[in-house]
């Protein structure tokens, strides 16, 4: 439980504080019992906010924070929430370290009222979102014109849907589907960060 020295070296998985006395800061995770380090690096205790963080040695891994623009894939969608696997932070080549499974609640789907999230997203959709909360769980939002679906597949045949006015269209099936799309749907701009 080293917390007196700012230059204390810690190792991946090492318990650096108890969950009761500290909050997990950047580079750490909470096992429920302990705050543990993701990295080998210098322990940095913020005594004002009671949080512990670890500054990784070497190349800095990508740790998400609130306000980050992220790209994710819808894994599961229900009427009230979706589970989204975050695959990258926009503008970053490196992988995200730590928690990558985020929750998108129906209230965070769009600026206008969405009665059921299953009408806005389908499994396998690629979405651009913003991180709105990190603790106790990763939460994302797709409210805003630049946020939402970037790529969607036809739920009948699996081909990529094309944007056609306010709907998405499958030319093969000659049918349309609806999504909450980003305003640059289909352009493949995964690294766009100006939202
Ligand atoms: Zn189709």
> Residues whose CB is under 5 A from ligand 1 (ion)?
154, 156-157, 170, 172-173
Task: Please answer whether residues 180 and 120 qualify as being in contact, where contact means their C-beta atoms are separated by less than 8 angstroms.
Answer: yes
Name the residue among 4, 99, 25, 34 with its Cα closest to residue 13: 34
Is the pTM above the cut of 0.75?
Answer: no
Q: How far apart are CA 177 and CA 36, in angstroms?
A: 45
Does the domain formed by 9-56 have CATH 3.30.70.20?
Answer: no
User: Distance from the CA of 149 to the center of ligand 1, in angstroms?
Assistant: 17
Question: What tokens does 54 get?
Answer: 């670890």
Tens-place pLDDT, residues 6-62: 478 998 778 999 988 999 888 787 777 788 887 778 899 998 989 998 887 766 678
User: Distance from the CA of 152 to the center of ligand 1, in angstroms?
Assistant: 11
Query: Alpha helix locations (H) across 36-113?
Result: none
User: Distance from the CA of 148 to the center of ligand 1, in angstroms?
Assistant: 21
Tens-place pLDDT, residues 93-130: 667 888 899 999 999 999 999 999 999 999 989 999 99
CB atoms near residue 191 (< 10 Å): 13
Q: Give the residue range(s) of CATH 2.40.50.100 domains in the chain.
A: 9-56
CATH of domain 69-150: 2.40.50.140
């Amino acid at each position: 439980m080293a917390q007196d020295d700012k230059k204390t070296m810690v190792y991946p998985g090492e318990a650096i504080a108890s969950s009761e006395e500290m909050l997990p800061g950047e580079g750490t995770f909470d096992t429920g019992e302990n705050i543990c380090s993701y990295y080998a690096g210098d322990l940095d205790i913020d005594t004002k906010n009671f949080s512990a963080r670890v500054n990784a040695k070497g190349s800095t891994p990508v740790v998400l924070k609130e306000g980050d623009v992220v790209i994710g894939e819808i894994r599961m969608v229900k009427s009230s929430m979706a589970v989204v696997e975050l695959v990258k932070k926009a503008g970053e080549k490196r992988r995200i370290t730590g928690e990558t499974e985020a929750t998108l609640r129906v209230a965070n789907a769009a600026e206008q009222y969405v009665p059921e999230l299953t009408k806005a997203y389908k499994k396998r959709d690629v979405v651009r979102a913003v991180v709105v909360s990190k603790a106790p769980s990763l939460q994302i939002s797709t409210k805003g014109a630049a946020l939402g679906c970037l790529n969607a597949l036809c739920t009948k045949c699996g081909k990529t849907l094309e944007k056609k006015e306010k709907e998405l269209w499958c030319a093969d099936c000659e049918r349309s589907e609806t999504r909450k799309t980003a305003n640059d749907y289909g352009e493949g701009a995964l690294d766009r960060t100006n939202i």
